[in-house]
């Protein structure tokens, strides 16, 4: 009888396994929203950096081409900015930058969250 009781105590009970699964589920439920927030913040910072580069390129273009009132973003991307990734999914970039614009706005994601930079 002693051998049977020692053999039966090896391993985990169903209740112990269920408790571990619940704990893992709770940890995942807390980690996923935090990960999504960090991801969204990183996307916003990347877009903001791209907008700052675009704004600086527009200012340089306007200095070089005196009386021009607006410039296509495609021209800025090809001639004035080394690397500018404006092709992430769900983003709406402006097609032109005008001299009188005080800010450039990009909307991204399914909610069309705006990110802007002042010029």
pLDDT: which is higher, 70 or 15:
15
Residue 8's pLDDT band, with cuts at 50, 70 and 90, is low
pLDDT at residue number 37:
92
Residue-averaged pLDDT of the chain: 85
Q: Is residue 8 part of a domain?
A: no
What phi and psi values does residue 102 have, to the nearest 5 degrees?
-95, -15
pLDDT > 90? residue 93:
no
The answer to whether the beta carbons of residues 79 and 65 sit under 8 Å apart is: no
Q: Is residue 99 part of a domain?
A: yes
Q: What's the average model confidence in pLDDT over 79-97?
A: 81
- Domains of the chain: total: 1
Whether the full predicted model's pTM is greater than 0.85, yes or no, is no
The answer to whether the beta carbons of residues 73 and 97 sit under 8 Å apart is: yes
Q: Is residue 5 part of a domain?
A: no
Q: Degrees (nearest 5) of the Cα angle 92, 98, 104?
A: 40
Q: Is residue 19 part of a domain?
A: yes
Note down the domain range covering 56.
13-118
**DSSP letter, residue 110:** T
What H or E segment, with its residue span, contains residue 38?
helix 14-64
Which range, 3-7, 38-42, 97-101, has the best average confidence (pLDDT)?
A: 38-42
pLDDT > 80? residue 20:
yes
Q: Is residue 4 part of a domain?
A: no
Biggest CA pair distance of the chain: 99
d(CA 87, CA 49): 14
The answer to whether the beta carbons of residues 62 and 80 sit under 8 Å apart is: no
């Amino acid at each position: 009888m002693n051998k049977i009781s020692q053999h039966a105590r090896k391993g985990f009970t169903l209740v112990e396994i269920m408790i571990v699964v619940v704990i893992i589920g709770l940890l995942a439920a807390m980690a996923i929203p935090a990960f999504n927030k960090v991801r969204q913040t990183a996307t916003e910072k990347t877009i903001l950096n791209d907008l700052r580069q675009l704004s600086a390129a527009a200012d340089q273009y306007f200095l070089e081409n005196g009386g021009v009132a607006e410039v296509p973003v495609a021209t800025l991307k090809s001639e004035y900015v080394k690397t500018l990734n404006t092709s992430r999914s769900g983003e709406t970039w402006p097609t032109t930058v005008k001299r009188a614009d005080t800010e450039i706005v990009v909307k991204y994601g399914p909610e069309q969250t705006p990110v802007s930079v002042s010029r």
